[in-house]
Amino acid sequence: MNKLKSISVLLFVLVSSGCFPSNDLAKQEVLLQGKTMGTTYNIKVVIGEENAQVDIKGMHQGIDDLLVQLNQEMSTYIKDSELSRFNQSNGLTPVKISAGLDRVITEAIRLGQLSKGKLDITVGPLVNLWGFGPEFRPETIPSDQLLETTRQRVGLDKLVLQNGMLNKLNPDLYVDLSTIAKGYGVDIVAEYIEQQGIENYLVEIGGEMRLKGFKHTGELWHVAIEKPVTIERAVQQIIVPKDNAVATSGDYRNYYEVDGQRFSHIIDPATGKPINHKLVSVTVIHPFSMTADGLSTAMMVMGEAQALAFAEQHDLAAYFIVKTENGFVEQSTVKFMQYLK
């Protein structure tokens, strides 16, 4: 199942805000595009007099190099990636991991604890069992017995990260960073772009985004949250996230149906099964894309009531779309409201 996915759940919107009138008509927007992590990336950087010396071609190559390195460190789709080798090993001795893997797993463990296990990067064997991992599997429902055996392999308590050393407490443990590494990719690309002297940009990888500053016209960046439907691509809500990252998790693009029942790619570690509730999309705005990415998935697992309470408790800017008999109902935290257009 190594096909290129086009699962962007956020769309760029070409609308004007008129928030900050431009006085520099010489600015221009440069679009850099490419492929990574089974999906695409779109980056817009604003070039003006102050950074006219930037070598765009060299920067594009630098971005590709960063993303190739990321894949080589943390893809479960590459058999000899650093993470795949860790997953394949059955030794229980701690291994030294790269700085990138250290940063991502540290944050994943923190969010796993914060969400009381709803986000669990050891859930990979269950993701694969339900047919959403790197290996193609027939879309059949696993037996209760197979589900139970697979669940024995899952649990953040079986993974230890200390001083850059990663350790399995169960030889069958399998780490899947699909929920958070795309966000990390957005963060490192944004950091790299800033190092090149660019202060106005939009970075998007497979729907996860981070934005800073203004468009070349002097307007703030606008982002559209997609309507959670499979038959068309339509806008549910436009937001103005300012200097932040935006991540959306949903169950309406990546799923299959058996006998009229929908099976989503998001797994509830408590049951070992795909989520089954009325919350269909969660959007989080946060300074870091990796954190927004992980939190949006964690709250998708929680379901509407628990997710809203969690977001308010942790002062998160979060927006929810819930499916009801009367159509979609939107809810957002107080902190999110400042970003609504």
* Binding stretches for ligand FAD (CB under 6 A): 1-3, 5, 7, 37-39, 71, 74-75, 77, 119-121, 123, 127, 132, 176-179, 181-182, 206-207, 249, 254, 265-267, 269, 293, 297, 301
Q: For residues 132 and 336, which CB has a smaller minimum distance to ligand FAD in the complex?
A: 132
* Closest CB 267 distance from ligand FAD, rounded Å: 4
Q: How far is the CB of 24 from ligand FAD (least distance, A)?
A: 35
Show the tokens assigned to 328: 């979609």
Q: Which is nearer to ligand FAD, 183 or 218 (CB)?
A: 183
Shortest Å, Cβ 152 to ligand FAD = 17
DSSP secondary-structure letter at 202? E
- C-alpha 264/C-alpha 184 separation (Å) is 23
E-only strand ranges, 102-207: 159-162, 165-168, 201-205
By beta carbon distance, the residue nearest ligand FAD is: 38
Name the residue nearer to ligand FAD (CB basis): 247 or 308.
Answer: 247
List the one residue out of 243, 247, 240 whose CA is nearest residue 291: 247
Nearer to ligand FAD, 125 or 218 (CB): 125
* Minimum gap (Å) between residue 68 Cβ and ligand FAD: 11
**Distance (Å, whole) CA 158 – CA 51:** 48
For 78-103, letters b (16+ CB in 10 Å) and e give beebbbbebbeeeeeeeeebbebbbe
Query: How does DSSP assign 207-232, residue by residue?
Result: TEEEEESB-TTSPBP-EEEEPS-SS-
Alpha helices in 196-328, H assignment, sequence order: 289-302, 304-313
Query: Are residues 26 and 226 in contact, defined by beta-carbon separation less than 8 angstroms?
Result: no
- Min separation Cβ 246 and ligand FAD, Å: 12
Between 72 and 167, CB nearer to ligand FAD: 72
User: Positive or negative CA dihedral for 79, 105, 167, 264?
Assistant: negative
Of the two residues 179 and 200, which places its CB atom closer to ligand FAD in the complex?
179
Provide the minimum distance between the beta carbon of 132 and ligand FAD in the complex, in angstroms, as a whole number: 5
